[in-house]
Amino acid sequence: MHDHHRIRALLDARRPGHTLPQPFYTDPDLYRFDLDAVFARSWIAVGFECEVAEPGSYLAARIGASPIVITRARDGALRGFHNACRHRGAQLCAEGAGRRSLLVCPYHQWSYGLDGRLVRAARMGENFDPAEHGLVPVRVEAVAGTLYACLAEDAPDFAPFRREVEPLLAPLALQDAKVAHVDTLVERGNWKLVMENARECYHCDAKHPELSFTFPTGARGNFESEGDPARIAFDDRMAARGLPVGPVDGDWYQAARFALNDGCASMTEDGRACVARPLAALTEGDVGSLRWALEPHSFAHAVGDFAFLFSAMPTGPRETVVTSKWLVHRDAVEGVDYDLGTLTALWTATNLQDRDLVENNQRGVDGAGYRPGPYSPEGEALCARFTDWYCRKARDYLDAVAPARRLEAAE
C-alpha cells in the first residue's frame, strides 16, 4: 500500500513551474504509485490498426506492469484483453503483432478465441464452467488507424480526443499503412525524466544535429506562432489541400500540424522524402509534420512519406523501455520504394542521444545536490504542462482512494 500522506506532502512541496521533488524520480514506492495512479488510469497509444488489420490478427503490448492483447476476431471487431491466462496467470502472447486462430497459453494450453471466450481447458473436472473463465476485457478505441487502450473501468472520456484529433489524422489514411520497423531501447532513467526530455527541444540545437536540421527547434508550446506571416502562409497552403492544422489542446492530449524548416519536406537527415510512395495521395509533397501526443507516455509525427511513434513505458524506478515504430504506405516495398536505414536514421540517432541525456540526468537527480529547478517558460512549456498534468493525475487518484482508505481504517 502506498504512503498516501507522504505522496500528498511531496506534491504539496512542488513549486509551480519547477521539476518534481527527488523521490518522484527515484523512489520504488513512487514508481509503483505511478503504475496505479497514472498508467492504469490513462489512455495509452498501443499501436496502429494496420497491425491487426485482418481477422485472426493480434497485437500484444504492455501498459505499466500489465500485459494486454488486442485482437481482430472473425466478426471484424476489435477487442482488448488482459494478456493473462485465467488458469494461473501466465502471459499468453509475447509482445508484438501476429496471427492466430486461438490464443493458446504456453503453460498448460488453455485456449481462447479471439473474442476472449475460453474454448479449451483439459482435465478440469465435470463441474468446471468455461464461461466463467474468459479473458478479462480491456477498453480499446480506434481513431483513423491509430489504437488506444485503457485499463481502468472509469477511463478518461475518450470522446473529446476522437472529436478533435480524428479530423487531423484522417487524411493520413494510416489504416492503409504498414509497420516498416519496430525498435526498443532501454533507458536507465525514470520514465518522467524520459518524458520531460521528450517534451522539449531546449536541448535540441546542442544535442540533436540530425533532428535540428529539419525540426523547428525554436517552436513554442504546441507550435503556437500567432501572427507569424510564414505560419499563416503555411496554414493557407494546408487548407488549400484539405489538411486541418489545429492546434488541438486537451487535458491529456495535443495535436498540431506545423511547418518543417525551410527546404525540408520530411524528417530525415537531409530533409528530403525517403519513401517514394507517400502515406496518402492527399499528403504527397511537403505538408510539414502532424504531431500528436498523449500524456503520460507518447508522441508521434507524420510527414508526407512516413509516420513515427515514440512510446515510453516504465519498467522500474530508474528504467524505461522506449518503443519506436515507423509506418509507410502498405504498398511501399523495402529496397525499391525506401531504404530502411535512411528511413530510421534520424529518429534512431535522436533516441540514442536522448538515452544518454536521460541517463546523465538520472545520475545527477540521484545525488544529494539535486534541487528542483525551474522550467524555461519559452523552451520547456510542454515540460511544465506534462508535470502539471502528472500532479493533477496523482492528486485525483489520491482523492479517489481516500474514502476507501478511511473506510478500511474504520473497520
Q: What pLDDT tens digit does each residue of the chain (411 aa) get?
A: 689 999 999 999 999 999 999 999 999 999 999 999 999 999 999 999 999 999 999 999 999 999 999 999 999 999 999 999 999 999 999 999 999 999 999 999 999 999 999 999 999 999 999 999 999 999 999 999 999 999 999 999 999 999 999 999 999 999 999 999 999 999 999 999 999 999 999 999 999 999 999 999 988 887 877 778 888 999 999 999 999 999 999 999 999 999 999 999 999 999 999 999 999 877 778 899 999 999 999 999 999 999 999 999 999 999 999 999 999 999 999 999 999 999 999 999 999 999 999 999 999 999 999 999 999 999 999 999 999 999 999 999 999 987 655 445 445
Q: Give the CATH number of domain 159-366.
A: 3.90.380.10
- What burial class does residue 114 get, using C-beta atoms within 10 Å of its C-beta: 0-12 exposed, 13-18 middle, 19+ buried? buried
State residue 407's pLDDT score: 45
- Asked if 34 and 191 touch (Cβ cutoff 8 Å), the reply is yes
Render the burial of 55-85: b for 16+ CB within 10 Å, e for the rest.
Answer: eebbbbbbbbebbbbbbbbeeeeebbbbbbb
Q: Which three cell numbers stand for residue 183?
A: 525498435
State residue 139's pLDDT score: 98
Residues 267 and 192: their CA atoms lie apart, in Å, by 25
State the greatest distance between any 2 C-alpha atoms of the chain, in Å, as a whole number.
Answer: 76
pTM of the model: 0.95
Residue ranges of the chain that CATH labels 3.90.380.10:
159-366
Neighbour order of strands in the sheet with 307-316? 177-187, 319-329, 307-316, 298-302, 289-294, 253-258, 248-249
Residues 382 and 209: their CA atoms lie apart, in Å, by 21
- Torsion angle of C-alpha atoms 209, 214, 220, 224, degrees rounded to 10: 180
Q: How many residues does the chain have?
A: 411
Which class does domain 44-150 fall in? mainly beta
- Asked if 273 and 143 touch (Cβ cutoff 8 Å), the reply is no
- Asked if 25 and 320 touch (Cβ cutoff 8 Å), the reply is no
Cα 269–chain centre separation: 24
Phi and psi at 168, nearest 5°, equal: -75, -35
Q: What is the pLDDT of residues 226-240, one digit of tens each?
A: 778 888 999 999 999
**Angle (nearest 5°) at CA 138 between 133 and 141:** 145
- Asked if 309 and 324 touch (Cβ cutoff 8 Å), the reply is yes
State residue 293's pLDDT score: 98
Q: Which three cell numbers stand for residue 324?
A: 519506436
Peptide linkage before 21 cis (omega within 30 of 0): no
Q: 3-class secondary structure for 51-95?
A: HHCCCCEEEEEEECCEEEEEEECCCCCEEEEECECCCCCCECCCC
Residue ranges of the chain that CATH labels 2.102.10.10:
44-150
Nearest to 397 by CA among 33, 10, 15, 9: 33
Q: Which three cell numbers stand for residue 256?
A: 498540431
Q: What is the pLDDT of residues 83-135, one digit of tens each?
A: 999 999 999 999 999 999 999 999 999 999 999 999 999 999 999 999 999 99
